[in-house]
Amino acid sequence: MILRQKIALVSTSTIIGLMILFPPYVIKSITGIKGMTIKAGHGFVFDLPTYIKDTVIYDASIGDIVPYTMDIPATVNVSMLVAQIFGALVIGGAFYYVLRS
């Protein structure tokens, strides 16, 4: 293995490591249209954002509408993460193969 191949290998593994540390996330609606995406992006795996929604609900115990805050947590979009890792492996493998001589 020559130096250029080592650089390609280390670069690919670093990129995949960063993809795992900052995975794609999605916040889906739990009310209204089921499965509707509210927010999506990339975030640190141990500190994914939450979506805070201020709304009102009817409280039957007091017979009135009261304010209510919903915290909707983000979940990791695993299928997108697997696709990203697969793409990085294909591109990194191609560079490794091209730089063999």
For CA atoms 57, 61, 64, 69, give the dihedral sign: negative
Distances 63 to 12, 55, 56, 58, 59 between C-alpha atoms, Å: 60, 17, 13, 7, 6
Residue 88 pLDDT more than 80?
yes
Is residue 15 located within the same domain as residue 36?
Answer: no
Is residue 51 located within the same domain as residue 72?
Answer: yes
Q: Provide the domain count of the chain.
A: 2
- pTM, two decimals, is 0.78
Is residue 16 located within the same domain as residue 37?
Answer: no
Beta bridge partners of 68: 55
Give tens-digit pLDDT for 15-71.
Answer: 999 999 999 999 887 766 777 888 889 999 998 888 887 777 788 888 888 887 878
Is residue 31 located within the same domain as residue 45?
Answer: yes
Q: What is the mean pLDDT of residues 74-92?
A: 95
Band of residue 91 on the pLDDT scale cut at 50, 70, 90 = very high
Q: Which residues of 11-38 are buried (b: 16+ CB within 10 A; e: fewer)?
A: ebeeeeeebeeebbbebbeeeeeeeeee
Is residue 66 located within the same domain as residue 84?
Answer: no
Least confident of 5-9, 29-33, 78-82: 29-33
Is residue 68 located within the same domain as residue 31?
Answer: yes
Least confident of 30-39, 45-54, 78-87, 92-101: 30-39
Is residue 1 located within the same domain as residue 13?
Answer: yes
| Contact (Cβ atoms closer than 8 angstroms) between residue 74 and residue 50 | yes
**In terms of residue numbers, what domain contains 85?**
1-23+79-101
- Give the span between the Cα atoms of 13 and 82, in whole angstroms: 14
